[in-house]
Structure 1
Amino acid sequence: MDAVSDFDPARYLPDSLIERIRGRAAGVDADNVFPDEDLAELREAGYLGILVPEKLGGAGLSLTQASVLQQRLAGAAPATALAINMHLVWTGVAKVLSDRGDDALRFVQEGAAAGEVFAFGISEAGNDLVLFGSDTAAEPRPDGGYSFTGTKIFTSLAPVWDHLGLHGLDTTSEDAPKMVFAFVDRTDAVRTRDDWDTVGMRGTQSRTTELHGAIASPDRVVRRLSPGPNPDPLVFGIFSVFELLLASVYTGIARRALDVAVVAAQSRTSKKTGLAYSQDPDIRWRIAEMALSYDGMLPQLEAIARDIDERADHGGLWFAKLSGLKHRAVTSAKAVVDEAMLVAGGSSYFSRSELGRLYRDVVAGMFHPSDPESAHSTVAAAWLGPLTP
């Protein structure tokens, strides 16, 4: 089952589950807590293993299908979808690698199928090198493992993760410097700050994580790579799956905003004309503009997801395509939510309003890698070549 047209997302995210998750989203946002009930139900439904091969206990879905599911989940609770995204990134990277004959992340697949949660610990304050550099110290141990000391920011799933996938810089080995990608468990060497009090996406609980000599055992050290851009499949896997699933979440937000705006237009009545706002030419234009934007988001998502699944070769344009995918999805989603707010009127400005929450949630997309500056720089380099010294 590969075709999206033949894929039934309700099999993995039934309507009843979606409605329960949607019903909890406002409370999670207002209370600034992690959606524990959402995670419990998603784990029970096997959602943590949707990208894990069937032979290892998962659902064996493609990235194309996972994208559709994440859009559906984001339409119910964007913060829940974004939090789960970070777990799915690692299972997606494991799939990208295994599809190419590399089983370095088989333990991620096995753990996810068993209900374990994997978090994404890459972001660091002020580190615009992202995957290509790190301020976290990775110190080699005699047994071949590493200890990590540093600070990671925006660690989604902070209260609940079992394993943290991260990177650090080894500056002491004979072949240093090397970027080290590994996984650490939750121990006393990992401290989570209670500092997540944001405008939106509050349920992700993407808190700051302090590493004080957190140890990755030798079998959890996945790669040692030279700093800077690298063609290693792990780097491609992280970047491609991260951008794809982020774009999926924000596309889901756009669809939900469009649906809510349509209901608002049909249910509001003009005192001036006595007609529903759905009969107002200006409102109809806004709805049409939203739908036009949303319709354009779907083909690019499916095309890029399918290309990753089918191992298409875009050569030097891959990173430009992935950066562009995420950038377009976020900017389009934000524009759709902006229009939805105007269609629904002043009531949407209240924090208790679903559109008000979507408005706050969608802003977070601008801060994820690739941010607008990075996306434009990547695309310019792909088409014009690097800047001359």
Structure 2
Amino acid sequence: MSEFDPAAYLSDELLERIRSRASGYDRDNLLPHEDLDELRAAGYLAILAPEELGGAGLGLAEASVLQQRLAGAAPATALSVNMHLVWTGVAKVLADRGIDTLRFVHEGAAAGELYAFGISEAGNDLVLFGSDTDAAPRPDGGYAFTGTKIFTSLAPAWTQLGLHGLDTTSEDGPKMVYAFVSRSEEADGRIVTRDDWDTLGMRATQSRTTELHGAIAPPGRVVRRIDPGPNPDPIVFGIFSVFELLLASVYTGIARRALDLAVETAGKRRSKKTGLAYSQDPDIRWRVADMALAYDALPPQLWSLARDIDEQVDHGARWFSLLSGIKHRAVTMAKRVVDDAVLVAGGSSYFSQSELGRLYRDVLAGLFHPSDPESAHSTVATAWLGPLES
């Protein structure tokens, strides 16, 4: 990591500008357009694209560090950009393994395309293993998708939507189909973006509902057809691994910011009883130490696991428990750290303009991303104890 300088990709000055805008975007429930414009201009959207295609050529380990850094400035901006980076990360995972079908994703990212993640569907706990979206084959080899996707981050601004659906009509079906549709489909009403994002936290992600009414993915943008259900296909591993790691990175970044704010506040607040700064209070010192002990474990774990993906280390069947486990640890740790930071800061964090108050709301979103606690525990239990007996 010594040769990697995060400030070369996310300068302190850029992060401070992003931080200064975060409260306004949250208050007004708006997409952070200025943040996205500055990140695009800085080449951030292409950090995972190879240098020969116009990107930075970074690995997932470096991207994890950068997403932690960005989340410390503006969690919602980091989480929304995360969904773009998931697809560029999947393209990297596949390319590293000799599968070049997502080359256009890297080329697009370098050219300024903004990718959104159209996988989540209401009530679909199969996630990558099934879909309620109909994928209808077209004579030219493309597909028309009809269904509803939820939590589509970057909804007002994405230019390409990566999604999945189920083809039940082809002779070799059913097949899960992964493809990309263009924003241009919106002009003909084949894509409708609802203005329905009014949430407790992570408001600036603008993760609105997306309706698909026969949205067309041309043949060159149909990237994978695989059997439904648990599947070792590289695209399933790619999506799951990149999603879990970069998601864990965002919430780890939130925890670090909460810890920094707690330390800063403890140094400023003074006790009327003793006249000393709260940083000298034994109970406060114990609480901050407990926060740091919880936080310190995550960054090296993220680096190590992301590096294993970059270097194609084979963890075999353990991969899914390792990945769901690190996401679970990151979000539960982050919530605990933010809770404690609020206690250190006191009543000022209860006001809506407080950054800690915003972190308190933003960190709750981590509970809703897959893998949820039940799924994570089931996956890890199976890894250690074997499957349930029928």
| Fold shared, TM-score > 0.5 on shorter chain | yes
Question: Residue in 2 aligned with 1:130?
Answer: 127
Question: Residue in 1 aligned with 2:145?
Answer: 148
1:6 Cα offset (Å): 2.1
Question: Residue in 2 aligned with 1:339?
Answer: 340
List per-residue Cα deviations over 1:267-303 (Å, max 9, x = no partner). Answer: 0010111110000000000110011111111121111
Question: Residue in 2 aligned with 1:316?
Answer: 317
Question: Residue in 2 aligned with 1:36?
Answer: 33
Q: Are residue 21 (structure 1) and residue 18 (structure 2) matched? A: yes
Q: TM-score, normalised by structure 2?
A: 0.98
Question: Residue in 1 aligned with 2:306?
Answer: 305
Q: Are residue 352 (structure 1) and residue 349 (structure 2) matched? A: no
- Of all paired residues, the percent bearing the same amino acid is 79
- Partner AA of 1:151 in structure 2: T
Q: Secondary structure at the match of 1:345?
A: helix
Q: Are residue 255 (structure 1) and residue 256 (structure 2) matched? A: yes
List per-residue Cα deviations over 1:172-213 (Å, max 9, x = no partner). Answer: 010111000000011231100000000000000000000000
Question: Residue in 2 aligned with 1:287?
Answer: 288
Question: Residue in 1 aligned with 2:368?
Answer: 367
List per-residue Cα deviations over 1:226-268 (Å, max 9, x = no partner). Answer: 1001111111000000000000000000000000000100000
Distance 2:352 2:2 in 1: 37
Q: Secondary structure at the match of 2:165?
A: strand
- Partner AA of 1:352 in structure 2: Q
Question: Residue in 1 aligned with 2:381?
Answer: 380
Q: Secondary structure at the match of 2:212?
A: strand
- Partner AA of 2:320 in structure 1: F
2:136 to 128, 134, 139: 139
Question: Residue in 2 aligned with 1:275?
Answer: 276
Question: Residue in 2 aligned with 1:165?
Answer: 162
Distance 1:386 1:124 in 2: 27
Distance 2:301 2:307 in 1: 10
Q: Are residue 86 (structure 1) and residue 91 (structure 2) matched? A: no
2:174 to 177, 198, 202: 177
List per-residue Cα deviations over 1:99-138 (Å, max 9, x = no partner). Answer: 1111010000000000100100000000000000000000
Q: Secondary structure at the match of 1:172?
A: coil
Question: Residue in 2 aligned with 1:55?
Answer: 52
Question: Residue in 1 aligned with 2:93?
Answer: 96
- Partner AA of 1:331 in structure 2: T
Q: Secondary structure at the match of 2:211?
A: strand
Q: Secondary structure at the match of 2:297?
A: helix
- Partner AA of 2:381 in structure 1: A
- Partner AA of 2:142 in structure 1: G
Runs of 4+ in 1 over 4 A off after TM superposition: none
Distance 1:351 1:211 in 2: 36
1:5 Cα offset (Å): 2.4
What is the number of equivalent residue pairs in this alignment?
A: 386
Question: Residue in 1 aligned with 2:228?
Answer: 227
Q: Are residue 121 (structure 1) and residue 123 (structure 2) matched? A: no
- Partner AA of 1:26 in structure 2: S
Q: TM-score, normalised by structure 1?
A: 0.99
2:73 to 76, 79, 86: 76
1:349 Cα offset (Å): 1.1
Distance 2:286 2:4 in 1: 32
Distance 1:7 1:344 in 2: 34
Distance 2:378 2:148 in 1: 27
Structure 2: which 5+ runs fail to align? none
1:152 Cα offset (Å): 0.2
Q: Secondary structure at the match of 2:176?
A: strand
Pairwise CA RMSD: 0.6
Question: Residue in 1 aligned with 2:7?
Answer: 10
Distance 2:2 2:371 in 1: 30
